[in-house]
Structure 1
């Protein structure tokens, strides 16, 4: 039952909380403008409700609250957040917003209003929306920051959405918004988005890890207390003003570690980090951080491979901090982060905190340089939206490599960048004519991968031209975009040459240059378009001498008009409405062209979805499959909801990885369990043993996840087995 009075009180409570957080930075007439935006939004959304049933206005207020409290944005952004859905969902137009709230707010809202329209074939609507959203980055980065606040609130309230919407929104978030938050330095938001993605796509793993973190909480608190006691005492002695806290790593980052290092939860050594925040003036920051490092390493032995100095060379998103991993008295590794209050604010608030600490008009932070690079990329991108998204993501999630020019100028490139990327970074023309490079005075090829501290000199030649292979070496978007552009130009030039050759040949044969004849040529040489025909002629793949009169005089066979069985099945499928709603896997339907995806090998019991591939087949993936993120966010319209039928007679291939201590007869015990106790057929087994430890992979045919879990449980009980787990 809806209680309007209770809802009205709740709306006012949320609004007052928002004002309380905004109060410290409000100027003359700001409170009035916020109130006006609030009233406008309440009025515009008065009859609307969210999927959860609550009043719609809760959402804009929550987005504004995140913008202030968690990102640190100001009045303009609060107003834009309160009004961000008004233009899209109600009668109000952008012009009205501009008249009432000024051009800055209007521009942000215009950037946020979802874009619809007709896009080039093969590009997904979603990728196009992302691209347009990023174009607004050139105007005002606040568009993206408010968009992130909007997305964070949607993810926090995803429970009320239907399952297929949850999967799509979660995947999109992981595909683009989490990397964006990371790149804009919003670590807390990035971690929460990743955890929420996991919560909806792989709920079992999410619950499992969060339960384990909860169970170890009290032991962890005691450990942290003991660990920091001597450090606190020493810092007090030196007269430091400081704050120390321990925080657990995010669930997603723990899972990433488990997968990457192939270890169990119990083996993840740095489940938490200790953060020491110092209150010191800017000019003493470096010295203070290193002094604290020295104090910590007096008590605990550091791991020299795990020292990260982002105080002297900040990350591209402005992150500054000194990280070290030390050995505690109980034999556990602990990550310690040392930073100042200013650095901490930039790490937590990212982009928004940067403005606060800018040192005069001329200084450019790494983050602004990155934003300028994105602008550059956007202006020079001529490919389709999906290609663009792909390139953009490559530049989001990157560690960096620091290299030098011959004159000692520092150039920052993404990790795995090559000599070719370096050449394009210096100048496009140098990139296009790059022959090779000298790294630390030694000659290296274009494909040479750069390492921190390399000094690079580029060798060029007027005669050099880019070729397709260059795309295999180029990592940066700038290099890739320029190479693709040069290849397109070259292709265009070749196509024009090919057209001249064809015209010449046709006039020799006295054959008309019309579409019907061109169609016959394309069919004869099996090329998809006239452009391709021209291009192949110019490159010599087709010899113009092979164009003969007989091609034009042969009569083409008339196509038959009856439907072949496969298309008949497809018609039936359309009538059954299979594609539009739910695909049931495992029904005895020969007219369903589905196949199990090899990237994640789903089996009955797994949470799955179907994906329509180009050739009308449907591929079945697990919802937590690595490729799922990309498929769901870019091609949401081709995702089909799917579930398994209850029929048990089907067998599916699954992989099991085992580790244990070597002993005689162990393999025999394992194979007996597999074949006798559960009537499972084994397809292959590979076991590798060294130093008394063995590791093995077994491929078995099972009916479903329950069947597989039982098998894993029984194998785990075999004497000498340490771990048993499923792998993709």
Structure 2
């Protein structure tokens, strides 16, 4: 290496950095690996020649600084080489294939995993960011060193952020606080997380950071005396009990954690800063529990503030005993007790794999948890519809406090705070979540939206016919549950659209005295190729969602004249047999809310692109406007066997006296109808005008309900509302009209 780096030559900034890097890696790597690292440096130096950072230094200084951060973590040679080369694919003409030829598959894949996606077809910067994060997470699943390099890259960028414009600083800081710091925390890399948070806080809110920093400096003088006194008292008591190897450290809270507590607890600086923090580092696990008993005897513990993360580690592998005590001056003391191995793991997380080779049992446990989390992310990304949805799910997964519940067999399951029974069901298995109908919590039946608490035993009740409910999205909190529900509903809607598209196409073929089944496969393939569609299913889905008109598709099948004017389309529409509506088609056939059609009403359908068919009353006020603006309408009719309950709206003028509404409700119930909503729109001392939404079976059912209501002496007038209610303000009062 001395020949490679002659000391007598005046060193440039990058030469100083490569000398420092080689010195660091030579302490734990052999000379052949150090030479390989230097060879990677030479390629990166040549590739980045002529490129400079905004600070004015050669660009190569950045990847070298990233490599030094990783070398301090004792990263292996391949990881160091990937750090030096991490920008060459993105910013220089060097290709992945060239890297593979010179340094092998492993380094090439690592560099590619860190590189951003280029030439993205994205509508916004947010979408581009989401796609880059998605790619990075997928690469993380294959090799954890990808995220190590990316975090070190982000850390050095944050250290040199001051040269950028305020807008760019805030954007990068927000991304760091939202994504990269939480990822470092999730992987147990506490030291890196803290520095990322501090730098992100300073860049995001520079004024708040300076004010808080000055407040901490002012309070530090008196605090040092208090901390020293408590530290010596705890140390003496531990030594008296025979725990002479225990180390007591009084630590200063970080500015970002102070800021977060001030925000979440809505308190001033003085209300947070009085919480003193101490660590007790012991040799053995038994010593940790002995030390806990000693400090509980020394100072009074605060009830409900003890957590045993040794027996039940956090998801990122973190282990420690946490307790809060009332100190000698009445101030709360936060105490963390852990072994040295746990301390190494708490500070470095998965990086401890390279830092502390001796503690293999703890390291393998940490890596297993990291890989388990990454496997969950892989499942989430498969279910996500797009990159923005995946990024939302990732953020949900990163920001969580944990609750621990048990399966009926006693297995512990970790969930974020606020998780419900549905979250637990999906945590057990996606199929369990998709078919859950209820659950027992501690042997007592509970509804699915019940929020779980620590220590509960949860048993999921499933049914083969059960399916996910869209309303679950209102209360689930885990990314896995949210992604699985959305994925199922997306596929379910697709299946419904395909079925509806087939019915519409069959209807058009029947009008020509043909059957869709008679169309030759070759003709179908020709049309799909002409329409640039991958499959017949995609065509049927387009028709079902209203993106393509079935009569035009049939014309193309029959090789008829493609230019069909609006008049002929209307004539064709009236000549064809109507599409039969059952009312149970699901998400691709919707009943218009403006006129509330029910079975038995004359109706007409409109294609709403992307959503399917919207069914209106023929006499709906909106129909004439829709006919003028849209040509994609069709005749529909109710199936004689239409079943289910349908909303219908009635207006009643009632005598304003005690018991009137009860009589009305009783009559409606007796007639087998349900009340969905009641609005009192106008009321004085004598008359009340009410709008009631009923759930009825069909037009005949509604007529019989209205007939019985007319017989009541308290009902002065009754009518069905067939157009949307619109609010109007009149002299400060609110009333409704058709």
Q: Same fold (TM over 0.5)?
A: yes
Of residues 214-223 and 255-264 in structure 1, the stretch that sits farther from structure 2 once superposed is 214-223
Q: Do 1:301 and 1:327's aligned partners in 2 also have CA atoms closer than 8 Å? A: yes
2:128 matches 1:125: yes
1:89-238 residue pairs with structure 2 within 5 A? 89-119=91-121, 124-237=127-240, 238=242
Q: Secondary structure at the match of 1:306?
A: coil
What is the TM-score when the length of structure 1 is the normalising length?
A: 0.68
Residue among 244, 248, 251 paired with 1:244:
248
Residue among 33, 40, 43 paired with 1:40:
43
Of residues 452-461 and 86-95 in structure 1, the stretch that sits farther from structure 2 once superposed is 86-95
2:110 matches 1:53: no
Q: Do 2:352 and 2:363's aligned partners in 1 also have CA atoms closer than 8 Å? A: no
CA distance in 1, matches of 2:306, 2:31: 47
Match of residue 490 from structure 1: 492
- Evaluate the alpha carbon distance shift between residue 362 and residue 35 of structure 1 in structure 2; reply closer, same or farther with a 3 A threshold: closer
Residue among 383, 402, 405 paired with 2:404:
402
- Evaluate the alpha carbon distance shift between residue 546 and residue 6 of structure 1 in structure 2; reply closer, same or farther with a 3 A threshold: farther
Task: Give how far 1:189 is off.
Answer: 1.8
- Evaluate the alpha carbon distance shift between residue 221 and residue 546 of structure 1 in structure 2; reply closer, same or farther with a 3 A threshold: same
Q: Secondary structure at the match of 1:277?
A: strand
- Evaluate the alpha carbon distance shift between residue 498 and residue 259 of structure 1 in structure 2; reply closer, same or farther with a 3 A threshold: same
Q: Do 2:250 and 2:277's aligned partners in 1 also have CA atoms closer than 8 Å? A: yes
Match of residue 601 from structure 1: none
2:375 matches 1:337: no
Match of residue 711 from structure 1: none
C-alpha deviations, 1:300-335, integer Å up to 9, x for none?
222132212111111110111112222221222121
- Evaluate the alpha carbon distance shift between residue 536 and residue 315 of structure 1 in structure 2; reply closer, same or farther with a 3 A threshold: closer
1:14-93 residue pairs with structure 2 within 5 A? 14-27=17-30, 29-69=32-72, 71-93=73-95
- Evaluate the alpha carbon distance shift between residue 554 and residue 270 of structure 1 in structure 2; reply closer, same or farther with a 3 A threshold: closer
1:239-318 residue pairs with structure 2 within 5 A? 239-278=243-282, 280=283, 285-318=284-317
Q: Do 1:517 and 1:552's aligned partners in 2 also have CA atoms closer than 8 Å? A: no
C-alpha deviations, 1:494-517, integer Å up to 9, x for none?
223333454466678889712878
2:551 matches 1:513: yes
Match of residue 351 from structure 2: 352
Match of residue 433 from structure 1: 435
Higher relative CO (Cα under 8 Å, sequence separation at least 6) belongs to 1
CA distance in 1, matches of 2:113, 2:151: 13
Q: Aligned-pair RMSD on alpha carbons?
A: 3.3
CA distance in 1, matches of 2:462, 2:80: 52
CA distance in 1, matches of 2:629, 2:427: 56
Task: Give how far 1:101 is off.
Answer: 2.0
Q: Do 1:72 and 1:349's aligned partners in 2 also have CA atoms closer than 8 Å? A: no
CA distance in 2, matches of 1:554, 1:48: 59
What is the TM-score when the length of structure 2 is the normalising length?
A: 0.67
1:375-414 residue pairs with structure 2 within 5 A? 375-378=378-381, 380-414=382-416
2:603 matches 1:546: yes
Match of residue 730 from structure 2: none
Match of residue 418 from structure 1: 420
| Aligned pairs, number | 538
Of residues 470-479 and 15-24 in structure 1, the stretch that sits farther from structure 2 once superposed is 15-24
Of residues 85-94 and 341-350 in structure 1, the stretch that sits farther from structure 2 once superposed is 85-94
Q: Do 1:120 and 1:384's aligned partners in 2 also have CA atoms closer than 8 Å? A: no
Task: Give how far 1:290 is off.
Answer: 0.9
Task: Give how far 1:205 is off.
Answer: 0.8
Q: Do 1:277 and 1:344's aligned partners in 2 also have CA atoms closer than 8 Å? A: yes
Q: Do 2:353 and 2:363's aligned partners in 1 also have CA atoms closer than 8 Å? A: no
Task: Give how far 1:222 is off.
Answer: 1.7
- Evaluate the alpha carbon distance shift between residue 535 and residue 12 of structure 1 in structure 2; reply closer, same or farther with a 3 A threshold: same
Of residues 341-350 and 236-245 in structure 1, the stretch that sits farther from structure 2 once superposed is 236-245
CA distance in 1, matches of 2:588, 2:474: 26
1:285-684 residue pairs with structure 2 within 5 A? 285-354=284-353, 356=357, 357-359=359-361, 365-378=368-381, 380-503=382-505, 513-514=551-552, 538=589, 540=591, 546-547=603-604, 556=628
C-alpha deviations, 1:45-84, integer Å up to 9, x for none?
2322110112222211211121122x44222211111111
CA distance in 1, matches of 2:589, 2:91: 54
CA distance in 2, matches of 1:208, 1:548: 63
Unaligned runs of 5+ in 1: 525-533, 559-728
Task: Give how far 1:134 is off.
Answer: 0.7
Q: Do 1:501 and 1:537's aligned partners in 2 also have CA atoms closer than 8 Å? A: no
Q: Secondary structure at the match of 1:8?
A: coil
- Evaluate the alpha carbon distance shift between residue 443 and residue 451 of structure 1 in structure 2; reply closer, same or farther with a 3 A threshold: same
- Evaluate the alpha carbon distance shift between residue 11 and residue 538 of structure 1 in structure 2; reply closer, same or farther with a 3 A threshold: closer
- Evaluate the alpha carbon distance shift between residue 51 and residue 419 of structure 1 in structure 2; reply closer, same or farther with a 3 A threshold: same
Task: Give how far 1:274 is off.
Answer: 1.5
Q: Do 1:277 and 1:339's aligned partners in 2 also have CA atoms closer than 8 Å? A: yes
Q: Do 2:404 and 2:412's aligned partners in 1 also have CA atoms closer than 8 Å? A: yes
C-alpha deviations, 1:126-167, integer Å up to 9, x for none?
111111111101211111111011001111111111222112
Q: Do 2:246 and 2:281's aligned partners in 1 also have CA atoms closer than 8 Å? A: yes
Unaligned runs of 5+ in 2: 1-7, 513-548, 554-563, 574-584, 607-617, 631-738
CA distance in 2, matches of 1:251, 1:212: 10
Q: Secondary structure at the match of 1:240?
A: coil
Q: Do 2:25 and 2:71's aligned partners in 1 also have CA atoms closer than 8 Å? A: yes
